Structure 1
Amino acid sequence: MLILLPPSEGKTPAGAGVPVDLAALSFPELTDARQEVAEALALVSGREDALAKLGVGASLVHEVSRNTRLAHEPAAPAHSIYTGVLFDALGYQSLTPAQRRKADSAVVVVSGLWGAVGFADSIPAYRLSMSVGLPGLGKLASYWKPKLAAAVAGHAEGHLLVDCRSSSYAAAWVPDPARTVSVNVFTERDGVRKVVSHFAKHTRGELARHLIVRRGKAPETPAQLAKAAAEKWTVELVPGTARKAHSLNIILED
């Protein structure tokens, strides 16, 4: 089982540590592409119109400035750099050592800067969304799509993929639909169902944690995943097609 997560928008910078070693990250086939994106990001982040190009507000000027010196910034494990609603719900720091090892091997974070990283990979804090276009590279989802397909597909072979990514990150890599289950979250009141956003992040984080901490064998099929999720929530499994992944719908009471 692999759990695919999007990165958090905000990051918690490492307090100390050595800089990132691109070749030491998971999926080393992406090293050259990571270097290319990092260089393009540094150039854009040093421009007067950097905030507009990166689609962020003035309050994030210091985070954008950090993009210009990522090769020298201290790095730390991805599970401590990525913070926010989803990652707080996953609660890595409260896992046991055995559960942390399970999370490190199961979680893959799809990133606009790195392409994809493992949960234990050491990276610096940065600011870059997958929806951004960089000069010379174009939209990052399109840039990464063939590269991730080549680098991550082999690693994912034989695994059930629990896809908790948001739409822009899901567009950067489309895995085998037969082995993939996208996770959706709805609220329901009086039979009326609504898609949620904030609670979706939280619930996806809770699902990731549940799959990591629960005892027994990890789910290997969509049906087994739905059964595991049903231990905590009301769920429904929508079968996929030859071109579309299965869907696990988690229904929360409004």
Structure 2
Amino acid sequence: MLFLLPPSESKAVGGSPLGIDKVALIFAAMQPAREVVFEAAVKAKLVEPDLQSAPTLPAIDRYNGTLYAAIHGRGLKGTPTEFNELTNAERERAKESIFIQSALFGLIPATSLIPNYKFSADSKLPGLNLKQHWADSHDVTWNRLVGQKVIDLRSKQYAELAPIPGSFDSLTVEVFDIESAKAMNHFNKKAKGQFIRAFLQGAETLEDMAKAANLKIEIDGSAIKLFTNQR
């Protein structure tokens, strides 16, 4: 299985001195599309021109919002797990199976080295339709991933940047309150992160992942419905 995640607006600072101008991102065929977005973002003064030489971290460490804190198993401030990190084994599993949808870089493996940036799916670029540009640029990426079952945990705006081809075996994840059956917001991200953490820790099936994350699961057609009692 492959899992698609959104990024987070919140990001960790710092990293390795190796910039993306020295460490090429995977899916090299998308590089021209990335350069178009980067140049347009620089022109619009949304990112700095020297971003490509800025320090980098693995994407799964760079993003540190609610979803990613749950993936790392981080607890509240002051708790023993406040600064929890993935193990080497969990990172290897993430490298093979987790992909993140960036508005600046396109779809990238979770362990890809990226700089700290501020640019989102709703960023406006004069003369460039970001959604259409990325949707047209991901064909080569999908060709590399064909034959895999894809579990889509991206938010709507990020899913629109790279719609999954209809020929793929794919499922979309939604999170609901277990009592009211209403869609969740903050705890949507936390539940998705816990679901992915269960996979990284060795769960092999969707049902096992849900059980390990203390979530109820229902699979309804192309939808995975997760139910949480967190409030």
* TM-score (normalizing by structure 1): 0.79
Deviations 1:64-123 (A, max 9, x none): 5x5342123112211221111000100086333222101111111111100111111111
Partner of 2:216: 234
Letter matched to residue 57 of structure 2: A
Deviation at residue 203 of structure 1 after TM alignment: 0.7
Partner of 1:19: 19
Is 2:68 the partner of 1:87? yes
CA distance in 2, matches of 1:22, 1:134: 26
Is 2:171 the partner of 1:181? yes
Partner of 2:6: 6
Is 2:142 the partner of 1:153? yes
Tell me if structure 1 keeps the 8 A contact 2:21–2:53: no
The gaps in structure 1 that reach 5 residues or longer are 46-63, 220-224, 240-245
Letter matched to residue 27 of structure 1: F
Deviation at residue 176 of structure 1 after TM alignment: 3.9
Q: Go from structure 1 to structure 2 and tell me whether the alpha carbon gap of 1:26 and 1:88 turns closer, same or farther (over 3 Å shift).
A: same
CA distance in 1, matches of 2:109, 2:22: 12
Tell me if structure 1 keeps the 8 A contact 2:90–2:200: yes
CA distance in 2, matches of 1:180, 1:22: 34
Partner of 1:210: 198
CA distance in 2, matches of 1:94, 1:3: 19
Partner of 1:112: 103
Deviation at residue 175 of structure 1 after TM alignment: 1.5
The gaps in structure 2 that reach 5 residues or longer are 74-83
CA distance in 2, matches of 1:184, 1:114: 25
Q: What does 1:91-170 align with in structure 2 at a 5 Å threshold?
A: 91=72, 94-138=85-129, 140-148=130-138, 150-170=139-159
Letter matched to residue 187 of structure 1: D
Letter matched to residue 172 of structure 2: S
Partner of 2:81: none
SS in 2 for 1:123: strand
Deviation at residue 233 of structure 1 after TM alignment: 1.5
CA distance in 1, matches of 2:165, 2:37: 26
SS in 1 for 2:181: strand
Deviation at residue 230 of structure 1 after TM alignment: 4.1
CA distance in 2, matches of 1:16, 1:228: 33
SS in 1 for 2:121: coil
SS in 1 for 2:92: helix
Deviation at residue 151 of structure 1 after TM alignment: 2.2
Deviation at residue 157 of structure 1 after TM alignment: 1.2
Letter matched to residue 85 of structure 2: S
Question: Which of 65, 70, 90 is the equivalent residue of 2:51?
Answer: 70
Q: Go from structure 1 to structure 2 and tell me whether the alpha carbon gap of 1:226 and 1:67 turns closer, same or farther (over 3 Å shift).
A: farther
Tell me if structure 1 keeps the 8 A contact 2:26–2:112: yes
Q: State the percentage of identical aligned residues.
A: 29
Deviation at residue 235 of structure 1 after TM alignment: 1.4
SS in 2 for 1:133: coil
CA distance in 2, matches of 1:108, 1:176: 16
Deviation at residue 22 of structure 1 after TM alignment: 7.6
CA distance in 2, matches of 1:122, 1:70: 13
CA distance in 2, matches of 1:160, 1:212: 16
Calculate the aligned-residue CA RMSD, in Å: 2.0
Deviation at residue 131 of structure 1 after TM alignment: 1.9
How many equivalent residue pairs? 218
Partner of 1:193: 181
SS in 2 for 1:130: coil
Letter matched to residue 102 of structure 2: S
SS in 1 for 2:191: helix
